Chains A and B, each alone.
Chain A
């Protein structure tokens, strides 16, 4: 069955031109990146570039290692005993795993939004948004308030909450909480925003809202989004990286291409199978 989604509008350049997102400045580069846990390889040989101020999506069926790869970017695997990230991930000129930058500081440049909204329940909305700034030593009230407003506007939440910034985060709905998490990540003005299936636990309306947000935010931050929803990838991303679980149960990179191309005329037959719904 031919997938009608091929007819869906695919995200393209800023003024509607179909520019190759790979031309233009680079945000990050993956070179021979592999992640193993206690010797077992979760994903291997990742090689591609993430363009600046564009949306790159990591797609593929479960087990293909895309979330593992994402979490390697902000060094969350540092928390896991036995996790080894080999190869190099460069953010600008800095090798993330090269010892040049401490993980704590790296995470102010690479933010993350998680699958399930995780606002801090003991803090108010305001405190949640500015928590990152406070952790990093920024205390001045006026600075925090400006940053909060900017972040909440960016997350399309300002109108809803500007009059109840002292309320607890738990008073927000699921979709609002996720946007609060987006605001919290934006407040420290990272260069890159990682999103791990950010809409998978939300209702369709919230999902669309956040997808729109992603489109607007890319001018502010480079976005790397993991999604198991192909249509979503087609809707929001400029560049698509497709992964599959290989015979050795390790994820491998199959194809990386501009979204339009990947969904209409992929190079690899396995990519074609996936987008036509033959697995995943």
Chain B
């Protein structure tokens, strides 16, 4: 099915051949250990995945699919509608991607094709440094540095420029959908830059020269040869970053205001699936716990689908580069 992208110099033995080799007694111990440990981990994963599904069943039984399309989340009345929360999740992710894709791919292009050789590795490392920063630190920075700035300068500025029209009409509070989207943008940027850079660098220099030698300008080569060549890798990078943004918990929880009402403006406080699960958990009633489990299930499905899609594309890109 899926294989790690590795170049093999000799063909791998099929398992049947491996089994023949393991006729020596020591070998069966080896395989027993390997299977045992892997099986243990597989078991833990299975229990985990099942528990998420099972714990949410009471909620599905109680509210049915209204969890997905209803707008009200009220512990007291036992009504759990997650539409605003799903909207918040999608909106913050969309904002993050809106900025991260052009800036991320552009940076990757700059790293590979604009920077002089000796600057390439240092600057790449610098961008990757951003990736090592823990989410909670992003949340801290977002809450204590960005939020006041947004509240006093950015959001009023945007409101003034657009005449207080949608989506800038709510009173600025700093903590908002927009802020969360921006923090997410900073968090997924290094991932997009690093993976796009790899995809762009893999496009052979030969092809670059080939395009130049028929009279193309540098940008034309990038547009018609480099980017199409790196396309699968870049799309893969973006889908992986999307999955990360959808599931980010702590940083978003700190800057979004956790409001289960439907956000009508970018300046409104809102909620996302992950942050709701994280922050509502403590005081949740048993039924609410099940509802949170339902949110988890929704999130799991969303994240898993996006991830699977992303990894397939990234692998496909490497395969094509290797073939050609």
> Using a CB–CB distance below 8 Å, which chain A residues touch chain B?
74, 76, 79, 81, 104-105, 107-108, 111-112, 114, 116, 118-123, 131-132, 135-136, 170, 181, 184-185, 187-188
Most chain A CB inside 10 Å of its own CB: which residue of B210, B215, B220, B228: B215
| CA–CA, A120 and B206, complex, Å | 10
Do A108 and B214 contact each other (CB < 8 Å), given the known contacts A118-B204, A121-B324? yes
List, sorted by A's number, 20 A–B pairs whose CB atoms are closer than 8 Å. Answer: A76-B209, A104-B217, A107-B212, A107-B215, A108-B215, A112-B209, A118-B209, A118-B210, A120-B207, A120-B224, A120-B228, A120-B229, A121-B324, A123-B224, A131-B211, A131-B224, A132-B215, A170-B324, A181-B210, A184-B214
Contact B116 A135 (CB under 8 A): no
Do A112 and B213 contact each other (CB < 8 Å), given the known contacts A81-B117, A135-B224, A170-B324? yes
Please pick, from B215, B228, B320, the residue contacting A135 in the complex, using a CB distance under 8 A. Answer: B215
| CA–CA, A135 and B220, complex, Å | 7
Q: Which residue of A lies closest to B230 (CB)?
A: A122
Do A185 and B209 contact each other (CB < 8 Å), given the known contacts A120-B225, A121-B320? no
Please pick, from B209, B220, B229, the residue contacting A122 in the complex, using a CB distance under 8 A. Answer: B229
Mostly helix, strand, loop or mixed at chain B's interface?
helix
Minimum C-beta distance from B226 to chain A (A): 10
Do A111 and B213 contact each other (CB < 8 Å), given the known contacts A118-B207, A122-B229, A135-B224? yes
Contact A114 B209 (CB under 8 A): yes
> Using a CB–CB distance below 8 Å, which chain B residues touch chain A?
116-117, 204, 206-207, 209-217, 220, 224-225, 228-229, 231, 320, 323-324
Q: Which residues of A contact B217 (CB under 8 A)?
A: 104, 135
Please pick, from B207, B213, B320, the residue contacting A76 in the complex, using a CB distance under 8 A. Answer: B213
| CA–CA, A131 and B212, complex, Å | 11
Q: Which residue of B lies closest to A184 (CB)?
A: B214
| CA–CA, A97 and B212, complex, Å | 17
Please pick, from A76, A79, A111, A170, the residue contacting B214 in the complex, using a CB distance under 8 A. Answer: A111
| CA–CA, A135 and B216, complex, Å | 5
Q: Which residues of A contact B210 (CB under 8 A)?
A: 112, 114, 118-120, 181, 184
Q: Which residues of B contact A81 (CB under 8 A)?
A: 116-117
Minimum C-beta distance from A179 to chain B (A): 14
Q: Which residue of A lies closest to B321 (CB)?
A: A121
Q: Which residue of A lies closest to B220 (CB)?
A: A135
Do A76 and B204 contact each other (CB < 8 Å), given the known contacts A81-B116, A81-B117? no
Contact A188 B214 (CB under 8 A): yes
| CA–CA, A155 and B189, complex, Å | 46
Q: Which residues of B contact A121 (CB under 8 A)?
A: 207, 229, 320, 324
| CA–CA, A138 and B64, complex, Å | 60
- The 6 residue pairs across chains A and B that have the minimum distance between CB atoms: A132-B214, A108-B215, A122-B228, A135-B216, A112-B213, A118-B206
Do A114 and B215 contact each other (CB < 8 Å), given the known contacts A121-B229, A135-B220, A170-B324? no
Minimum C-beta distance from B47 to chain A (A): 45
Q: Which residue of A lies closest to B206 (CB)?
A: A118
Q: Which residues of A contact B225 (CB under 8 A)?
A: 120, 122
Please pick, from B206, B214, B215, the residue contacting A116 in the complex, using a CB distance under 8 A. Answer: B206
Do A136 and B215 contact each other (CB < 8 Å), given the known contacts A120-B225, A121-B229, A121-B324? yes
Q: Which residues of A contact B220 (CB under 8 A)?
A: 135
Known: A81-B116, A122-B229, A188-B214. 8 other contacts (CB 8 A): A104-B217, A107-B214, A119-B210, A120-B224, A122-B228, A131-B216, A135-B217, A170-B323
Q: Which residues of A contact B216 (CB under 8 A)?
A: 104, 131-132, 135
Minimum C-beta distance from A181 to chain B (A): 7
Contact A107 B213 (CB under 8 A): yes
Q: Which residues of A contact B215 (CB under 8 A)?
A: 104-105, 107-108, 132, 135-136, 188
Q: Which residues of A contact B211 (CB under 8 A)?
A: 120, 131, 135
